[in-house]
Amino acid sequence: MTTFKEIRGTTIEVVSSDPSNPETGQIWYNSSSGTLKGYKFVGTWSSGGNVNTSRFALGAAGTQTATIAASGYGPAVPGSNLTASESYNGIAWTNTNSVNTAVRYTDVFGTQTAAVKVGGYVGPAATTSTELWNGTSWTSNPTGNNTARYSGATAGIQTAGLFFGGTTVPATTAATESWNGSVWTNVNSMNTARFDLGGVGLQTAALAFGGYAPSATGATESYNGTTWTTLPATMNTARAELSGAGIQTSALAFGGATPTVQTATESFNGTSWTSNPTGLANARSNAAGSGTQTSALNTGGVNGTAVSAATEEWTGVGIQTITVS
């Protein structure tokens, strides 16, 4: 008879309490409860309220029940860069005061009441535009970021952010810039130049994944506040134009293109990526992600020439122990 050790290359660990960050497929014996347990990650997407202006290539920040989304491209293809800004309360979107610079392929980080919008494409060039959101209005920062680019990724809060990757037209960049609430400073670059990537986390603990480098990749890098490290783990579905939510050690990646538009959803536990059994209801790329690994939001996007107003809400079980005996 084949044993667990022969299958997994390890014996079943005996512990007094369940591990805090198990890997998918991991099995252990909890001596306190006298049960054999295993781990799997599952979650589902459900429909939320549609944005008022259909768009893609937008930016968003916040939580599932409190998100701010701004700019983008739409409502039709060919369309135009947008200044429209909207806030979400977990049920419906409400139009807010507009941004100052109409732009697409931009990035937003922070919270619903304290966010930063940086970079983007204004046509025919990239921009260094940086705007601050205080919950009521957008204000143009006196100085922009150092390298004009779009389709990058961001992490952090309004007073401590990170902007990485993107394209400078026509070059792809690995450049990384740190934000202190007033100015941008060049810091160590990523190991792999890429654009249309996903990004989550904090200024001192960020995660970059996917993107075009130059073809769609599943490569993942982590940032510790000083340097980027290429991780052994890659996404199960290599893709770009994807969305993300969460933090460095507990992330979610969804949608995107391979270049075929995707519904795929994957979770990251700090060590490996796990594909969820079900994906988005609507395949789309260039949408905006916000929230956490267990409570995320996917807003807008495009599938071919069909620009979306759809919002989908993710509910993930997170760390789930399954008693098997």
Same domain, 297 and 154: yes
Q: Are strands 288-291 and 295-299 parallel, antiparallel or unpaired?
A: antiparallel
3-state secondary structure (DSSP) of residue 11: coil
Provide the percentage of residues in the chain whose pLDDT is more than 70. Answer: 91
The total domain count for the chain is 2
Looking at residue 158, what is its pLDDT? 98
Same domain, 186 and 289: yes
Same domain, 55 and 132: yes
Same domain, 11 and 127: no
State mean pLDDT over 82-108: 98
Looking at residue 7, what is its pLDDT? 47
Same domain, 26 and 128: no
Same domain, 55 and 28: no
Q: Where residue 4 falls among pLDDT bands split at 50, 70, 90?
A: very low
State mean pLDDT over 222-238: 98
Same domain, 8 and 103: no
Looking at residue 321, what is its pLDDT? 59
State mean pLDDT over 73-77: 75
Looking at residue 317, what is its pLDDT? 74
Q: Percentages helix, strand, coil for the chain, rounded to the nearest 5?
A: 0, 45, 50
Q: At residue 9, does pLDDT exceed 60?
A: no
Cα 241 to Cα 223: distance, rounded to the nearest angstrom: 21
- CATH assignment at residue 102: 2.120.10.80
Cα 34 to Cα 325: distance, rounded to the nearest angstrom: 9
Same domain, 189 and 218: yes
Same domain, 30 and 67: no
Same domain, 238 and 101: yes
Q: What is the pLDDT of residues 10-41, one digit of tens each?
A: 578 899 988 876 766 678 888 888 888 777 66
More confident residue, 212 or 321: 212
* Residue found by looking up tokens 């610079």 in the block: 101
Q: What is the pLDDT of residues 253-311, one digit of tens each?
A: 999 999 999 999 999 999 999 999 999 999 999 999 999 999 999 999 999 889 999 99
* Residue found by looking up tokens 């400078």 in the block: 168
3-state secondary structure (DSSP) of residue 5: helix
State mean pLDDT over 119-140: 97
Same domain, 198 and 220: yes
Q: At residue 183, does pLDDT exceed 80?
A: yes
Picking from 269, 279, 211, the residue whose alpha carbon sits closest to that of residue 239 is 211
State the residue range of the domain holding 89: 43-321
* Residue found by looking up tokens 């860069």 in the block: 81
Same domain, 60 and 22: no
Cα 49 to Cα 212: distance, rounded to the nearest angstrom: 31
Q: At residue 69, does pLDDT exceed 70?
A: yes
